[in-house]
Structure formats: structure tokens, C-alpha cells
Structure 1
Amino acid sequence: MAGAGGFPSRGVWRRPGLRWVDVLVGAALVALLYGLLKLAPSLNAPFLPGQAPTTVSTDPANLPFYAVRSLLRMFIALVLSVLFTFAYATAAARARRAEKVLLPVLDILQSVPVLGFLSVVVTAFINFFPGSTLGLECASIFAIFTSMAWNMTFAFYHSLMSQPRELDEAARVMRLTKWQRFWRLDVPSGMIPLVWNGMMSFGGAWFFLAASETISVLNHQYALPGIGSYAATAIGKGDLREVGIAIGVMVVMVIGVNVLFWRPMVAWSERFRVEESEAAERPRSVVLDLLRRSSLPDLMARPLRSAGRALDEAARPFGLAEHPLTRPDGRERTGDVFFAGALAVAVLYGAWKALGYVRGSVGLGEFGHAFALGAATFGRVALLLVVATVVWVPIGVWIGMNPKVTRFAQPVVQVLASFPANFLFPFATAAFVALGISLNAGSVLLMALGAQWYILFNVIAGASAIPSDLREAMTCFHIGGRLRWRCFILPAVFPYYVTGGITAAGGAWNASIVAEVVNFGGHHLTATGLGAYIAKATGTGDFPKILVGVTVMSVYVVALNRLLWRRLYRLAETRYAL
């Protein structure tokens, strides 16, 4: 049955040969699977609360194992954050009634510090997995999750709300199901900001890694093997050599994660950019190029594509994406009033019970003291946001609008943003003591090390997302200088800046807990503020004061979001969405 000379049939039936790139990708997958299998037994080791270690060994030989354990926790928390983001942000953007509840709840969740979550969940997870370290692992992963999820959720919610109207109409005209619309329109249109904010959230989680792996709550201390607990132990001993070793390992980890994961993700997400003219230069990744040249990813994705087609068919009974994103204000007004009333009753009842608990323990006057301390921390947060805006918005625009600069600057920014600044606190403490600087002023710098990057990353994402045809139009019309900034650049990056600002503010409040109390060796510095108040109450197990501190911090953050950031969000959605 062969054609002339037999060549056609031989070409049809011959399988493609094994290439070196397939061997390389396959070896990497085998190594990853082997590492996960080796780690699995240690995640479920026997554990007794009274005999739990409070520190870890600082032998440098243990650092590779510690680094892998920390990375595993980080990536599990990242996966959970993505799933939470898809579910929560979609519900808030699509359901009018749910939005009125979910956004304020998200504001509150973002304002609750990591230690506030730990004080509640540690005991619950330990009781859920009795006699096993899996409970502590879950508590640590949950703490890391709380430092990632909120920023990603805000970013994806904003991308859904600023979706172009013509794409919304196209989805309804094509009779897409809700499931199809989510994966073919919602996720692709929000992929670029989701990747950039996921990268920023991952970097922000490094900041709280020490607090997540060395858990000190309710007069109990637990230490899990990890690079964060290693650094916490070295800082407690006052050994600068061991702290320096931890910093070196952390830099290697951050660069490795950036090269092997985030850089390929940034380059891959460019395929979802919506524009009429192609950019002159796009981000590149050697790792992504290798994966695209290999046939293994395609073979592994075939079952997923088959499952996706099956889910497409199964989702049809749940209805079509036939309703527009924005509905008239007058619709569902009666239901909204009833729903808001029921929610108000539930909130008032919970607040009454909490006030009764505080009144019977430390007294309601403790709220006045906490609000006064919160005013001091609020001043530091406001100063940080103003300075970060003035410094990082121009730099972020310069990086985002120049692909050649982005290629070199993005890894540097990623290292700076991902590096846990509290690893530098011992050196900062020594400098503050030597120079006679009070932590009341120095804590602003320490908070900035963990919070300012949210603004920079979001501005970079916004500037890089500006369509190339608009940039070319500005160049063709010779629009430059202040007019270009006022009428083109600032409006284009404004929605992204708002997302970065709201998460930077929340991150600064969270960072105040570790920035207003610094310990190194025999030095103990404390600033006057709400963060120090919560840190002290958490360490001593004073639950009434923990409740007071977390409540006051939530009030400050939610009030700031309601009075400032939400209004800016609405402005971004109505006037500055491209």
C-alpha cells in the first residue's frame, strides 16, 4: 500500500524518535516525583504537643532538606490560593448579592494578621490530626496561604470587573456555558495580572515564613523543619554567621524559583494579551522554550483535555452565560435589603458576644488603648504608602514599558521582593543600636521592606499590559512629557496601582507585627504601635488582647478600604479601564 518508492507509508507509521529535550524534561519530572516521595514520610511523623521541639538544628548540612520542605509548603499554599481566588473572586464579580458580603469579608480577612489566624487554627489542626506532625504542617501551610490569597483574589476580581463589554457580549452570543465562559474568557483575560500578583504574593509569603514555621502561640512554641525556622533559630542565638548562611540559601532559592517557575509563567501568560498589534519584544524563558520543544507536556496534557471536554458537556445543565456582567441598580432591590438585614443581625449578634467576652476579661477600656496604638501604626502605614508611590510608580512604568529592561530588571525585582526582609532585621537592629535610631522610626523602613513591592509589581504589570497599538499611537502623535504621563500612562496603570495600593496597605499592617518588635541576641527593640501589641499578646497567649488587637486592626483596614480604596476601585472601573 506504499506510495512511490515506499516513502509515504514509512513516514506515516514511524513514531518520532526520543530527543534529548524529552530526556531532560523526563529526568526533571522523575527527580521531582522522587523528591516528593522522599518527603512524604516526614510530613506525617509522630508528634506530641508536650514534647514538640521549639527550635531546629542550625547545622548547615540540613539546609537542603529545610529548603525543600519550605518550598513544598509554599507551592501547596500557592495552589490553594489559586483555587480560592477562582472561586471567591468569581462569586464576588458575578453574584450581585454575594458581592455585598464577599468584598467586606475579604477586606476583613486581609486585615487580620497572620498571627491572628495562627492563634485560632493551630489548636484546631493539631486536634484534627492527633499524634501527627501533619496538623502542624497544615497550620503552617494555612498561615502561608493567608499571606498569598487576598492579593491574588483582589487582582482577579478587578480583571473580571474591568472585562471589555464586547467580550462579555461575544460570550453570550456564542452561547457559552458558565463553565466554558470561565475557562475561555474569564481566566485568559485575567491571566497576566493573576501571574504577576501570584508572583508578588509568593514573594510576600517569604516574609512570614519564619512566623509560619516557628509557631509561638498561646504559650506554646512549635518548630517545623524549614529555612524560616532555621533563620528564626539563628536570629534567636544571635549568630550572624548562621544568619548569613540562611540569607545565601534564600537568595539561591528565590533565583531558582524565579528561573524555573515564575519566569516561564510570565512568558507563557503573554499568549493571553489582547491587542491588535504584536509587541516588538516579548518576555522569553529558556525553561519554557525547552518545555515547548518537548513532546512530554503534550502527552501529559491529553487526559486533562479529555476531562475538560467532558466537563464542558456536563456543565450545560447548569445554564448558559447569558446574563450581562453589569445589571441595573434597581434589580433585586427587595432581596438585597432582606439579605443585608439578615447579615446585619448576624454581625451585631457576633459583635455583642465578643464585647461581652472582652468586658468580662480585660474590660472595654482596652479598645481605647488599642485604637491609640493603632493610630501610631496607621501613621507609619500612610507614610510608607506615600513614599512608595512617589518612588516606585515611575520606576515600575519604566520597567513595564521597556521589554528589554523587564528582561533584566524583573529577576532583580523578584529577588528583592521575594527575599524575606525579616532575615535582615538582625543587621538592621545592630545598625539602629549603633546609630541610636528608635524603632518607632526604624520600623517604617522594616515595614517597607515587606510591603512596598506590591505597588511596584502591580505597576509593572499594568505598564506591560498596555496594548502596543496605543503606545505606537502616542509615539506617532509625538505626545510626550507631562501630557503623556497625565493622559496616557497614569490612567492606564491606575487600576493596577489601586490593586497594588490596597494590598500594600494590608501587607504593611501585617508586617507591623514583625517590624515593631525586633529581637536579636541580647537586643530587644519595641516600637509603640498596634503590631507590637498583637505580637506581645500572641506570644503570651493573652487571647482577649489578641481579639482586641485583631478587631482594632480590622476596623482600621476596613475603614481605609471603604473610605479610600473602594472609591478608587470604582473610579478605575468606570473611567480608566482599557
Structure 2
Amino acid sequence: MADTSGFPSRRVWRRPPSRWVDLVVAAALVALLYGLLRLAPSLNAPFLPNTAPKAVSTDPSNLPFYAVRSLLRMFVALLASVLFTFVYATAAARLRRADKVLLPVLDILQSVPVLGFLSVTVTAFISLFPGSELGLECASIFAIFTAMAWNMTFAFHASLVSQPRELDEAARVMRLTKWQRFWQLDVPSGVIPLVWNGMMSFGGAWFFLAASESISVLNHQFALPGMGSYAAAAIAQGDLGKVGNAIAVMVVLVIGVNVLFWRPVTAWSERFRVEESRAAEHPRSLVLDFLRRSQVPRLLARPLKPLWPVLDRLTRPFGLAQHAIGVSPARERTGDVFFAGAVSAVVAYGAWKACTYVNANVGFGAFGSALALGAATFGRVVVLTIAATLVWVPVGVWIGMNPRVTRFAQPVVQVLASFPANFLFPFATAVFVVLGISLNFGAILLMALGAQWYILFNVIAGASAIPSDLREAMTTFRVSGWLRWRQFILPAVFPSYVTGGITAAGGAWNASIVAEVVDYGQHHLAATGLGAYITEATATGNFPKILVGIFAMSLYVVAANRLFWRRLYRLAETRYAL
């Protein structure tokens, strides 16, 4: 018999040997699943509001467990934020005239502070899961979600409304279904801004971790195991050593999340960049390179591939990318008008009930004092936004347009932006007390620590997304100096800056809640402003004043967005979209 050991089919059908990369990735996935299973029982621990602990233990040995619990809340909130972004931003961009309702609602939601959501949702979530800590967990995750979702939604909506007309026409010519268009055009074109803003939103959510884990609302104090509640307890005790322990663990967490998650996602998102010439350098990630060498992700994704054609067939009756089949434009307009009218009616009814409740408890005069306090906070927001623009726009352009600089500066910026600055508030309070600095001025610095990064991250994303062929054209024509900035750089990053500016202003209003009232040990500093007003009303359980404060803050934010930021948005869409 002839020797068939060298027959090609034997090599084709021979099972490839397991590689050490696959073993490491598989072991990491098993360890992750095992950790989630071990953590699950603690999420459903017995809970009684009247006997629940008001603070967590500050024993340093509990820090690893607290860190894992906080990370789990953050990533669950991130997943919920991505799903909300896809649905809400797509509806606002694709439904005719729906943006007239959905975008103002988003402005209002962005203006409502985290404590405002907590004061309403804590009792509701606890009632949904009586006797279980899961209700408080859901309230905490929802509060973290509110710190993430709005910025990501604004960014993805901006990418949808500024899509190149050629891609839109291609989707119509190819008769893509709405499902196909979403995954093959909408999501890929918005991945880069979504990733960068998701990174920024994740970092901004760390800022409110203490408020979402150590909850003080309606004369009740609740504490969940986590880094935020640990820091709050250490600050209340005035123990700088334990605060330092929390800071050290948070530095490790932030760096670990950036290295293991955000850096690989950022490098992966570069595959969706649209340009005619290849950039000289792209962001690299050792973790992403490691995963690409492994067969485990492909094996896990293989069972999902048959679902794609099935979903294509199921969604085709709902219409093509151009318009819904069998629905006339007149009927479509009628549906949009009905939708807008229904939402407006619900909002008007809720506003009327709230005004009736406020008038019966504190009177309409409370609105005047709240609006006056809002003017002080508004002044701080304006100063912060102008200063952050002047400082971070040039820095963001320099980082985003220089790939070699991005490689080294991006991790540093991510760590600085992701670190919860309110962990440093005790040290800032000590400095303010020693130097005699009023919190009326110091609050601007504290607010900037949590809000300025939105501008920097968006400008970096906008500068890095400038097509390489345009950069090469500017270099070829020797356009430099102020002419280059005025005619090329500033128009190119303007849409991204507007997104960063509107979210930075909203983040500054939200940060005023924790920046205008600072406690450390026996020291209590309070600034004159709307943030301090809402914080004190929430702590004392004065729900009518909470509503008044939220209304005043929403009025300022929506007015600024409508009169200023939205006009810049339209300008960015019509004149400066690439």
C-alpha cells in the first residue's frame, strides 16, 4: 500500500493543536464567569431599610471586594447606556420631526442631577425587590447610568446626522433594510465618537460613585459595598490615611480598566475610520493583539452568524433604509405629529402636577430664590467652560493630530479623566481652610475637575478623525500658522467641540451638586448656588424643594442649550460636517 502520510487531506482535517494564547484567553473567561457566579449571591443579600447599615466598614482588607462590586455596577451601567444610546439617538435622528421632542427631553434629562434621580428612584426600586439588596443595587446602577448615557447619546446622534450624503445614497440604492443600515452604516460611522465619549462617560461616572453608593435621600441613609461608599465613610471619619488607601486602589482600577478594556476598544475602533489614504500610525493595544491571535473569540461568535440573515429577513417587512414600505409620507408625518403631541401632553401634565404640589407645600416664591441661586452656579459654569475651551482645545488638537503623541498621552489623559476627582476633595478642603479660600470661588476648580475632560476627549476624537488625505493636502500646500487653524483645524474639530462643550456644561451643572457642598471631618464648606440648594434639600428630605431645584437647573440648562449650543450644533451640521 502506498504511503499516504503526506496526503493533503490529512493535514486539512487534522485538528489544530491548542495554543497557549487560546488557553490563556479561555482561562480568563472561565475566571470571569466564576467570579460573577461567586458575586451573584451578595447582590441579593437580605435588606431592610430601617435596619440597613448607614456606612460600610473602612477595614482595608475589604477593598478588593468593594472594588469588584463597583466595577460590576459600572460595566452594567455602561451596557445599559450603549443600548439606550442606540435606541434613543437613532429615533431622534431618523424619525421625522421627532428630534423636536426627543432632543429637548434629552437636554432636560442631562440637566437633572444624580441626586435628583436618586431621590425619586430609590424608593421605587426598593419596592420592586422587597427584602432584597437588589433593589438598592438597581437604584445605584441607574444613578451611574444617568451619569453616562446622555453624553454618549449626544455623540452618537451627532455622528448620525452628519453622515456623508454619499453613504446615505448608497444605503438607499442598495435597498438595505433599516436593520442592515443600522449595523452596516450607522454603527460603524459612529463607533469612534461613541468609544471616545463612552470612555469619557465611564470616567465621569466614577465622579458620582460616592453619591450612588452612599445614598442620602429623604432623611434615609443607605450604603452599598463599593469604593464610593468606602471613600465617603473615610471622609466622614476624617481619616486621610484611609482616603489615601481608596485613592491608591482607584488608581489601580482606573489603569487596569484602561489597559484591559478601553485601550483595546480604542485600537479596535480604528478599523471604522473613513479616509482615502492610510494613516502613518494607528493606536496599538497588546491586549487586542493578544485576542486577535486567539481562536476563542471566533469560536464564541460562530453560533451567532446564522442569526444575521434571519434578522435581515425578519426586519425587511418593516421597511427599507429610505422609508417604510406601504406608508405614505403624509401618514408618516401624521404619526410623528401624534407622537410629538402625546409626549408634549405627558410632559405638560407632569409639570402641572408638580407645580400644584410645590405650591401646596412651599409656594411659588421658592422658584424665585432657586433661580437666583442658579444664576451664581450659571456664572461658575460659564467661567469653567471658557477656561476649559482656551486650555484644552489646543492640547486636544495637538494630541489628536500626532499619532506618536497620542500613543503616550492618551493613557495619561484617560487616567486623569477617569479618576474620581471628588476623592481629592478632602485635600482641597484642607487647602481652602488653611488659605481661607471661599468655596464660592473654589467650587469652580472642583467642578472643573469633573467636567473639563469632556471638551478634551471630544477634541482629541475630532482631531484624530480628520482624514489623513486632508492633512497631507494642507502640508502639500504649505498652509500653516493661524491660517491653518482658522481654515482647517478649527472647522474640522468644531462638531466634536460642540458635543464636548454641551456635555461639559451639563457635567458642570451636575458636578455642582457635590462641589458646592464639601464635608471633611468637622469642616463643612458650602457655596452660594443651586447645587448646594439641591444637596441640602435632598439630605433633609424636602421633596418640594428638590423639585424646585431640579426645575431651576433644568430651565438654565435647556435655555443655554436652546439659545446657544443648539445653534452651534446646526452650524456644525450644515457648514462644518466633513
TM range (shorter): over 0.9
The alpha-carbon deviation at position 2 of structure 1 amounts to 9.4
Q: Which residue of 1 aligns with 2:453?
A: 453
Whichever residue aligns with residue 309 of structure 1, its letter is: P
The alpha-carbon deviation at position 10 of structure 1 amounts to 1.9
- Cα distance in structure 2, aligned partners of 1:2 and 1:574: 74
**1:403–1:331 distance in 2 versus 1, CA, 3 Å:** farther
Q: Which residue of 2 aligns with 1:422?
A: 422
Q: Which residue of 2 aligns with 1:106?
A: 106
- Cα distance in structure 1, aligned partners of 2:305 and 2:13: 25
Q: For each residue in 1:123-150, what CA deviation from the matched residue of structure 2 results, as whole angstroms up to 9, or x when unmatched?
A: 0000000000000000000000000000
Tell me the TM-score normalized by structure 1.
0.97
Residue 550 (str. 1) matches residue 525 (str. 2): no
Whichever residue aligns with residue 473 of structure 1, its letter is: A
The alpha-carbon deviation at position 341 of structure 1 amounts to 5.2
The alpha-carbon deviation at position 333 of structure 1 amounts to 6.7
Q: Which residue of 2 aligns with 1:142?
A: 142
Are 1:46 and 1:133, in contact at CA under 8 Å, matched by a contact in 2? yes
Q: Which residue of 1 aligns with 2:215?
A: 215
Q: Which residue of 1 aligns with 2:6?
A: 6
Q: Which residue of 2 aligns with 1:362?
A: 362
Q: For each residue in 1:435-470, what CA deviation from the matched residue of structure 2 results, as whole angstroms up to 9, or x when unmatched?
A: 000000000000000000000000000000000111
Q: Which residue of 1 aligns with 2:50?
A: 50
- Cα distance in structure 1, aligned partners of 2:347 and 2:73: 34
Q: Which residue of 2 aligns with 1:231?
A: 231
The alpha-carbon deviation at position 316 of structure 1 amounts to 1.4
Q: For each residue in 1:324-360, what CA deviation from the matched residue of structure 2 results, as whole angstroms up to 9, or x when unmatched?
A: 9xxxx99977776666555544443332222221111
Q: Which residue of 2 aligns with 1:392?
A: 392
**1:343–1:195 distance in 2 versus 1, CA, 3 Å:** closer
Residue 85 (str. 1) matches residue 81 (str. 2): no
1:59-458 pair list within 5 angstroms: 59-323=59-323, 340=340, 343-458=343-458
Are 2:291 and 2:297, in contact at CA under 8 Å, matched by a contact in 1? yes
Gap runs ≥5 in structure 2: none
Q: Secondary structure at the match of 2:221?
A: strand
Q: Which residue of 2 aligns with 1:502?
A: 502
**1:8–1:332 distance in 2 versus 1, CA, 3 Å:** closer
The alpha-carbon deviation at position 480 of structure 1 amounts to 0.6
Are 2:95 and 2:336, in contact at CA under 8 Å, matched by a contact in 1? no
Whichever residue aligns with residue 535 of structure 2, its letter is: A
- Cα distance in structure 2, aligned partners of 1:335 and 1:113: 33
Whichever residue aligns with residue 430 of structure 1, its letter is: A
Whichever residue aligns with residue 64 of structure 2, its letter is: P
Q: Which residue of 2 aligns with 1:538?
A: 538
Q: Secondary structure at the match of 1:206?
A: helix
- Cα distance in structure 2, aligned partners of 1:2 and 1:215: 79
- Cα distance in structure 2, aligned partners of 1:118 and 1:310: 41
Whichever residue aligns with residue 564 of structure 2, its letter is: L
- Cα distance in structure 1, aligned partners of 2:113 and 2:306: 42
**1:3–1:568 distance in 2 versus 1, CA, 3 Å:** farther
- Cα distance in structure 2, aligned partners of 1:346 and 1:164: 36
**1:339–1:143 distance in 2 versus 1, CA, 3 Å:** closer
The alpha-carbon deviation at position 18 of structure 1 amounts to 0.6
Q: Secondary structure at the match of 1:321?
A: coil
Are 1:92 and 1:99, in contact at CA under 8 Å, matched by a contact in 2? yes
- Cα distance in structure 2, aligned partners of 1:260 and 1:336: 43
Are 1:74 and 1:202, in contact at CA under 8 Å, matched by a contact in 2? yes
Task: Give aligned-pair identity as a percent.
Answer: 80
Whichever residue aligns with residue 257 of structure 2, its letter is: V
Q: Which residue of 2 aligns with 1:26?
A: 26
Whichever residue aligns with residue 351 of structure 1, its letter is: A
Are 2:98 and 2:336, in contact at CA under 8 Å, matched by a contact in 1? no
Are 1:3 and 1:9, in contact at CA under 8 Å, matched by a contact in 2? no
- Cα distance in structure 1, aligned partners of 2:565 and 2:74: 29
**1:372–1:117 distance in 2 versus 1, CA, 3 Å:** same
**1:118–1:2 distance in 2 versus 1, CA, 3 Å:** farther
- Cα distance in structure 2, aligned partners of 1:332 and 1:264: 42
- Cα distance in structure 1, aligned partners of 2:308 and 2:333: 37
- Cα distance in structure 2, aligned partners of 1:42 and 1:323: 49
- Cα distance in structure 2, aligned partners of 1:3 and 1:372: 94
Q: For each residue in 1:238-272, what CA deviation from the matched residue of structure 2 results, as whole angstroms up to 9, or x when unmatched?
A: 00000001000000000000000000000000000
The alpha-carbon deviation at position 100 of structure 1 amounts to 1.4
Gap runs ≥5 in structure 1: none
- Cα distance in structure 2, aligned partners of 1:360 and 1:513: 26
Are 2:98 and 2:340, in contact at CA under 8 Å, matched by a contact in 1? no
Aligned residues: 574
Whichever residue aligns with residue 220 of structure 2, its letter is: H
The alpha-carbon deviation at position 97 of structure 1 amounts to 3.1
**1:332–1:253 distance in 2 versus 1, CA, 3 Å:** same
Q: Secondary structure at the match of 2:525?
A: strand
- Tell me whether 442-451 or 358-367 shows the greater mean CA deviation: 358-367
**1:30–1:341 distance in 2 versus 1, CA, 3 Å:** closer
Residue 37 (str. 1) matches residue 41 (str. 2): no
- Tell me whether 16-25 or 346-355 shows the greater mean CA deviation: 346-355
Q: Which residue of 1 aligns with 2:563?
A: 563
- Cα distance in structure 1, aligned partners of 2:135 and 2:342: 35
**1:6–1:568 distance in 2 versus 1, CA, 3 Å:** same
- Cα distance in structure 2, aligned partners of 1:345 and 1:323: 27
**1:3–1:228 distance in 2 versus 1, CA, 3 Å:** farther
What do you get for the CA RMSD once the two structures are aligned? Answer: 1.7
- Tell me whether 303-312 or 164-173 shows the greater mean CA deviation: 303-312
